Structure 1
Amino acid sequence: MTAMHPHIHLHLHELRAAELRDRAPRRSATRRPLRTQLGWTLVEVGLRLAAAPPPRTARVA
């Protein structure tokens, strides 16, 4: 059994990745589907809510 040199393995991986990218359908980077925009907006809102400081309670002396 012969071991594959790491550089050859990396090169084969890069070739396969380039082949898959070439076969993938082209999508416009500037225009995203409504579902994607809505999803990222919900993620942003959720992160803002999670990072918000807790509400302050009034102190009565």
Structure 2
Amino acid sequence: MHPDTHLALHHARAADLRAEADAYRLAAEAKRPYDIRNRLGWTLIEVGLRLTTPKPALVH
């Protein structure tokens, strides 16, 4: 493949990847309000699991 052709394809692919990354960032920012719900939910699950797990017996 001619170097100029290879370079042109590289630039086109890089532009496509940048556009995909921008679209992903915009989609991720739109979902941010639910992020706090997810963290709170997983924290409540973790606390519940800690409360239901029996503590090991202390042996002296």
| Global fold match (TM > 0.5) | no
TM range (shorter): 0.3 to 0.5
TM-score where L is the length of structure 2? 0.33
TM-score where L is the length of structure 1? 0.33
